[in-house]
Every structure is written in structure tokens, then in C-alpha cells.
């Protein structure tokens, strides 16, 4: 296992330390229990947004803490859910009197631990809601998941709900809007290579030299099928087809097209995929009015990509365009 780490045990703490030092204008580290918050308190009366999940998907979620997006992020150990006490501490810290919305990716451990944290926080009279993100159309039920998995679409939920909180929506309204994004976003990914979790020391699965996995999960969970390597355009069609079909987006509609890198993919390849996905959408009469391309929800050093489509209306577009100041999204 070749990694720029000091030991498997120190990865999480040292990543959080380096991340919060490098971005001390935006974020602050809390160590007991571990979570990341905005460097300045949540503005009084603003609904607070909290997200979290296993580490190894950086910049998710710490990279999205800051003005216009999350107020706190809770990193678990590598590919492992954060604990209820971590989440509870983040909720308590983030609350500024208007309540807290949790944005939770649909993995059994995450959902359960966020639920327990909500109970703990409610006992402290904090008003808490949660939305579950389940944008991955690849498979129903999987390792660690009942129902569909939450993947790259989570970034879009966090950005848009964050903007709604900034414009002054109350907790019910921010929750409704976050759910609207969940209802209108779908994703699917491909792996060209596996990744190695530091504690495991070995790749989490193996792919032959000419083999790729369509519908891969962000922890390397099985997808739909293993096939021989094809061209980027053919792979793009295999990913985009199920996304478009499940979303039911078509002629005359507008979309945000998001091509996400899994961590080890050259930027050039992401743009090659973006190019063809955009053409395919436009061929079906879908206008791509907003775009995002890059490493936002990764699986360590995995090579691969996912395609996410969000159906846009005027409100979602305005909220997407609203200012954001975080380590990973900034405009």
C-alpha cells in the first residue's frame, strides 16, 4: 500500500488538522469529539446545515463548510459512519436558534447514527430535521444500504439548501427545498480501478486489466455489471442512460450536469465524459444551463467518474448561483 500517510490510525486526525490549518479563514477543527465547523458562528436566526459521513470522500463534507453551504461537517473514520456523539456535538455547535437540517447520505450506519443524534439533540430542545439523499440509480439495496445509495448529488443538495438558509428560509422551508433537490437529482458511476482503505492495506475489490465496473458505489460496493473497457463515449452512454430514464427528464427541460471524479482520474478524462454527456442530453432536448466538473465526492485514489443530472427550475438555478465561500466551492 503506497500512501502519503503516517499510519492508518492517524489519517483522520491529521487530515482534519491539515485541512483546518490550510483553510483557517473558513473552518475550525473540533477534536473531542471530531467535527469541522465554520470559522465564525452560524449567523443568528439562520437555519444551520450539518452533514457528515465516512472519510475518504474528500472534499465531501468538510470542503463544503462555509458561507452559503454547511455550518458543520462530521467525518467518520475512513468509509465508516460518524458516531452519534460526534453528530450531536456538531448539531449543538451549529444551531443558531432557528434549528438544524441534517443532510444524510443513504447508508444504513449514517442514517441510524444521525437518527440517534437527532434524538439526543431534541432532548436538548434543538429543532432538527433530516433529509436522506439517495441519488444513485445503479442498484436498489447494496452493501451498507437499504434502498438507493447517496452519492455525488449530495453536493447539490448541500449547495442549494445552504443558499435557501442564507436567504432566510425557515427550517420547514429549507427541508422542503432540500427534499426537492433530492427528488430531482440522479447519479451513476463507473470504476476503472479500486481504492485501498489505509486500515485494510489491500484494494477493496479487484478488476482485471481490461475490466471496469458500471454502477460502482463510492466505497467500491458492487454496481450493475462488470464489462470490458469501452470508449469514454460508450461508458458515458451507459451511465447517463439510467440517470435520464429514472429522472424522467426530457425535451424542453433544463439541467445541471455534474461530472464527478472518483479521486484518481485526470481532469482531461472528466471533461471528455462531460462533453459527450452534454451532447447526449442536448440531443434529447435537455438544455444544460449549469455545470460542475471535478473531484467533489471521491473514493480515495479510485479511478473513475460519476454523472449526476439535476432538473433545474428558476428557483433551484437562483439558489445554485447564490454566493458560496467554502474550500471546495467558491463563487
- The residues of the shown chain that bind a second copy, judged by CB under 8 A, are 2-7, 11, 14-15, 17-19, 21-23, 55-56, 58-59, 63, 190, 192-193, 209-210, 212, 229, 231-233, 235, 263-275, 278, 291, 293, 295, 298, 300-301, 303-305, 330-331
Percentages (nearest 5) of helix, strand, coil residues in the chain = 35, 25, 40
Burial class (CB in 10 A: 0-12, 13-18, 19+), 61: buried
- Shortest distance in whole angstroms from residue 134 CB to a second copy: 25
Q: Which residues contact 165 (CB under 8 A, 6 or more apart)?
A: 46, 47, 48, 49, 101, 174
Which residue number, 11 or 126, has a Cβ lying nearer to a second copy? 11
- Shortest distance in whole angstroms from residue 243 CB to a second copy: 16
Q: Which of 296, 324, 327 is nearest to 24 (CA)?
A: 327
Provide the b/e sequence for 63-99 (b: ≥16 CB within 10 Å).
bbbbbbbbbbbbbbbbbbbbbbebbbbbbbbbbbebb
- Shortest distance in whole angstroms from residue 73 CB to a second copy: 14
CA distance 73 to 135: 20
- Shortest distance in whole angstroms from residue 266 CB to a second copy: 5
Which residue number, 34 or 305, has a Cβ lying nearer to a second copy? 305
Please confirm, yes or no, whether 276 is among the known catalytic residues. no
Please confirm, yes or no, whether 30 is among the known catalytic residues. no
Which residue number, 134 or 260, has a Cβ lying nearer to a second copy? 260
- Shortest distance in whole angstroms from residue 76 CB to a second copy: 13
Which residue number, 115 or 233, has a Cβ lying nearer to a second copy? 233
Of 23, 57, 93, 276, the catalytic one is: 57
Of 23, 61, 93, 219, the catalytic one is: 219
Which residue number, 146 or 229, has a Cβ lying nearer to a second copy? 229
The residue length of the chain stands at 331
Strand partners, 105: 133
CA distance 136 to 242: 10
Do the beta carbons of residue 79 and residue 107 sit within 8 Å?
no
Residues tagged active-site: 57, 219
Amino acid at each position: 500500500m503506497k500512501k502519503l500517510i503516517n499510519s492508518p490510525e492517524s489519517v483522520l486526525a491529521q487530515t482534519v488538522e491539515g485541512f483546518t490549518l490550510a483553510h483557517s479563514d473558513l473552518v475550525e477543527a473540533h477534536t473531542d469529539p471530531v467535527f469541522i465547523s465554520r470559522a465564525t458562528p452560524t449567523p443568528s436566526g439562520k437555519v444551520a446545515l450539518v452533514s457528515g459521513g465516512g472519510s475518504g470522500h474528500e472534499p465531501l463534507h468538510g470542503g463544503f463548510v462555509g458561507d452559503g453551504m454547511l455550518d458543520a461537517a462530521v467525518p467518520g473514520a475512513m468509509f465508516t459512519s460518524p458516531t452519534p456523539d460526534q453528530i450531536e456535538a456538531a448539531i449543538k455547535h451549529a444551531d443558531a436558534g432557528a434549528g438544524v437540517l441534517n443532510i444524510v447520505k443513504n447508508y444504513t450506519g449514517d442514517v441510524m447514527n444521525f437518527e440517534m443524534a437527532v434524538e439526543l439533540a431534541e432532548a436538548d430542545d434543538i429543532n432538527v430535521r433530516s433529509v436522506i439523499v439517495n441519488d444513485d440509480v445503479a442498484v436498489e439495496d447494496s452493501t451498507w444500504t437499504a434502498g438507493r445509495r447517496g452519492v455525488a448529488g449530495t453536493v447539490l443538495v448541500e449547495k442549494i439548501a445552504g443558499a435557501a438558509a442564507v436567504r432566510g428560509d425557515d427550517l420547514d422551508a429549507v427541508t422542503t427545498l432540500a427534499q426537492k433537490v433530492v427528488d430531482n437529482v440522479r447519479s451513476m458511476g463507473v470504476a476503472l480501478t479500486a481504492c485501498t482503505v489505509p486500515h485494510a492495506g489491500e484494494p477493496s475489490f479487484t478488476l482485471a486489466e481490461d475490466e471496469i465496473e458500471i454502477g460502482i458505489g463510492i466505497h467500491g460496493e458492487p454496481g450493475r455489471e462488470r464489462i470490458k473497457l469501452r470508449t469514454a463515449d460508450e461508458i458515458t452512454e451507459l451511465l447517463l442512460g439510467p440517470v435520464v430514464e429514472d429522472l424522467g427528464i426530457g425535451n424542453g427541460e433544463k439541467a445541471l450536469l455534474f461530472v464527478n471524479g472518483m479521486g484518481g482520474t485526470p481532469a482531461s478524462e472528466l471533461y471528455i465524459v462531460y462533453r459527450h454527456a452534454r451532447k447526449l442530453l442536448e440531443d434529447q432536448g435537455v438544455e444544460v444551463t449549469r455545470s460542475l466538473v471535478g473531484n467533489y465526492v471521491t473514493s480515495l485514489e479510485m479511478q473513475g467518474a460519476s454523472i449526476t443530472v439535476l432538473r433545474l427550475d428558476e428557483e433551484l438555478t437562483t439558489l445554485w448561483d447564490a454566493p458560496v465561500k467554502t474550500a471546495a466551492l467558491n463563487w
